[in-house]
Structure formats: structure tokens, C-alpha cells
Structure 1
Amino acid sequence: MTDSYQMGEADLVALRKELGPLGDGIYYLWNAFAPSGQSGDELTGWCLAINQNNDMFFLKTGGYYSGYLEDHPPKNPDPSRKNHFWPSGIDVKSRDSDARFMVLRPFWWDAYCSYDNLREYAEWWNGYEVTGEEKDYYTALIKAAEEEQAKRRKAKQEQERKAREKEREEKKARKELRKKDPASYRRLFPQEALKRELRKNSPESYREMYPEEAAEREQRKLRKESPEEYRRTYPNEWLEREKRKIQNGGFSSDDDDSDDSDDDDKRDDDDGDDYEQPF
């Protein structure tokens, strides 16, 4: 997204404050031509933004999407690192009604947002600070929700670990079969055998027949061998992986790069290809 999409209520208030009635005209004229900016998850009418020091502010976010948060972060003393807020995957019930509020946390673990920066940011959103008993109420709910979230995350990680372990054992068995009885291996796993032979003996044919798979392998190889170059070459993919890591508690469990290899002479193991089950 860019900064050229539609303005919201906070922008209208700022325009009115600076330009008076002329601000209304600019606001409606701009929105008549600008895209809606509906990127990411739709935000709740109000969201709770919490920084690293547990300062808590309500933001009036009705009608906005998470992509808007990414493009409009709070001020940061270090302009090279935008510390935008992002949905944490938790929402809590209002103390006064049945409404629910998304909880927003700084996207980057090491991007600091001070109390003053967050207060100014909340004012820009027509929000306010949460203090006293109200803060205690939401803090308790958020703590309980985060503990439950951590339990689910741990269970998911364990499930994924077992799945990867099972897959590695299956790869090991196929590797042994390929070495001891190549004919049986080709008969039981013809597509996998064909891919391996193409990748080893005719890389161009492999890329033509399996373009998406070849591109994914090249990305994985670059990510493993040169993380910085991978970040520059595939910024969108890198950012999506970082988001998944944050949602997963700082761990990347969506894939296992440990078996990636293009050098079949130096390392004769399987490398993450889909394979066929024998029947």
C-alpha cells in the first residue's frame, strides 16, 4: 500500500483544524478518487494499543484495516525502523458492553515506542489513555488470553515438530530404498524420481516442467545461504515470513529447510519435494 488511499475520520479532524471549512472539501474530493485502502484485516471499532512498557491507549479504528497501521506508524526516534502496530491475534470484551476490541502490539520486537509517542499517536486516532480500574480490567483479560494463546502455539509447534520428524523418517526410508534398490524406488515413487533426475541432469527442463517448485527451491536456497540478499530480492516474502514468526511467538515453523540441497553428489538426500505414496 501507499499513502495515496482514502483518508479517514482522524484525517478529516486534522484538516478541519488546519484549514477550517476548506478541509472538508479537500477531504471529500480526495476520497472521491483515492482507493479505499482495504488491505489486511478489518479492525474493530476501537482497538487497544499497548507498547513495550504496557502503556495502554484506545484507538478509534472503525472502518480501517491493518494495512493502514503499517503505513501510518507512530513517530520513532529512529526513522530507519518503523515501529508500526499490528493485531496480536487477541481481542477482549468491553467492560461496559458486548463489543470486542482487538489488541495491537508493536510489530517489531526491537522497535521501541515511548509513552509520549503512543499518546500522540492515540490523539491522532481520536483515542485516549486507559488507566486505573479500566486498565486493570483489560490487563487481566489480555494476560489470560495471551496465556491461552501461548498454550495453543506450543501445542501447534509440537504437532508440527512431530509432523516434520515423521517426514524426515519417511525421507530417510526413501533415501535408503533409492540407494539399495533404485528400480523399486523409481517404480514406487516415479514422479519424485523424475524430478530428481531432471533437476540433476537437466535443470532447464526441470524449471520448465515445475516452474513454481523450482522458484520455491531457489528462494529457500537463497534464504539459507544469504539471508540479507534474500530480504532484498524477495521483500514481500520476507515480510510475510516475519509476520508468521511473530504470530508464532518468534519461531518459524511453517517449513523445514534442513533438508534443502541441490548438490546430489555431495549430499544424497531428499530435499522437501512432494512425493507419491505407494499403493
Structure 2
Amino acid sequence: MSLLYSKDKYAQIIKTQAKNLGFDFCGISKAGFLEEEAPRLENWLNQNYHGQMGYLANNFDKRLDPTKLVEGAKTVVSLIYNYYPAKKLSEDPQDYKIAKYAYGKDYHFVIKDKLRDFLQKLNEEIGEIGGRAFVDSAPVMERQWAQKSGLGWTGKNSLLLNRQMGSFFFLAELIIDLEVSPDTPMAKDYCGTCTKCIDACPTDAIVKPGVVDGSKCISYFTIELKDQIPTEVKGKFENWVFGCDICQDVCPWNRFSKPHQEPEFNPHPELMSFSKKDWEEITQETFNKVFQKSAVKRPKLEGLRRNISFVKK
């Protein structure tokens, strides 16, 4: 396509639209092969840290190079969308817990709609842009692209950390065929000597700074694992029955987290008053109603019941 504006002007337009759509941060990087990530990813897979998540071993080349994923790709637009809730479901440590990202409507639906609007608005303002939108739904190395575009750095728990808002956010991308001025990568690691996330993980899933053995993570056991949960982790879940926020809750950077402004992420009213008994006696009807469009539907009621009975004292 012929250049209507300068590459700097395109960056300005993209960032303005991102802000208008409610994204907290937007960073831009040049699409290409992630050379440094190739050996890291290969090593991670060879260690079998992905467990039963076989899909993570697929599309190795596409995962490292967005130009193989999107024809003519020139730019990766990385976006941050806050999900930190105004209040926890319960302050009682004895209650069953689900990860904060799953309190409301499944983020895939919410953010995908925003990304469609984003592309449409860019097409209206700039002209026809080819590209695709991604929200944790394809072989895109989201954290690496976000870091490359200056949005944060990789914490010891392997999550992207942002100095202004910690880590309770979703990442999303637009991979487009428009050449745009890139941002400067985040070169500095602001974790310093802190090891709070490593020390707090009850299943020792963080094997070294920045590397998580996914097959030992509570989120993996409660969401991805289809088999029975191994007995050796019995008593280590601290009442998490869907996902886990331990390594984020202890992270000092999350003292900067502020409540999200997305009504779709607010919990179902009934969920706010769930007692342990409600969780333990949940019926298919209640499950369907309370978690109608929630990520909690992923392991199905059968999986949720398995998790509850596993952590039940």
C-alpha cells in the first residue's frame, strides 16, 4: 500500500485509537524472527515443561516469526488491557479461590471484539490494512513482543511486568502489513534481587528466574490437566480451584494495580456471595448460569468438581 502518512504518524494514530478503545498501554515493534527466543523455546519444550499442553509444541516456526503467521506482516502492535478487580471474591483464605482473570466474562470474547473495532478504525483512518488480531489464541509469543515494544520486562515468574501497573492484565496483538515506527525495547529488568514469586510458589513451578515448569503450575493442574491431579501436590494448592494468582499477589510491582474499568469483567452477582458449601454443591444449572461466558467453563463442571474435591480439607 502507498504511504498516506509518515511511519511516526501511523504510530501516533495507532496509539490514539488504542487509548480510545480502553487499552492501558500500546507498544509497537518491527515484525521478524525472534532469534534470541528460538533456543529458549526449544529448550523449554525439550524439558517437557509444557506437560499435556501439546499445542505449545506446534507451529514452532510461526511462533517465532509472525511473518509466517500473517502474510506480508511488517509490524506487531502489542496491547495491555487491565483486569485487576475492585475487590476479591473473598478475603477469607479458607474459601475456594479462582484466578482474578476469570471473575467475569471470558477475556477472549471481550478483547477480540475490541481488536475488530481497532482494525476497522485503522482502516477508516489510514486506508486498507491487512492483518490479524490475536488474544492468547494463536502461536504468538505475546510477552516477548510486548517487551520488544517497551511495555515491560519478563519477571522471575515469566510474566510481563509493567512499572505502572504490575502484571494483572491481558496481552493482545495486531499483526499488520503496515510499516510503523517501532518503540524501544525494554532492556532493563526491574526485579532486582527480589525472589518473592519463586519463594511463594507452593509447587516449586518457577525452576529458575524467568522459567516456569508449566507442568508443575497450579493453573496447569486445575485447567489444562485432563487426568487426575498427582497426589504429590496434595495439600499445596492453598484452596485454588481454577488458576492461581500466588506469584502475582506477592509481587511488589502489583502494589501499583488499579481496578479495571471493564464492566464485562465484573463477576456474576451470585459468584460474589458463593460460600464453600455453594462451591462444593454446585449443580450443572448453577454452573451454566454463573459461568455462562466465563473462562471457568474450560475444565467443565466435571473438572471444577475434581479440583474442589482435591483441595477439600
Q: Same fold (TM over 0.5)?
A: no
Q: Which has the larger radius of gyration?
A: 1
Higher helix share: 1
Name the TM-score, length of structure 1 as normaliser: 0.27
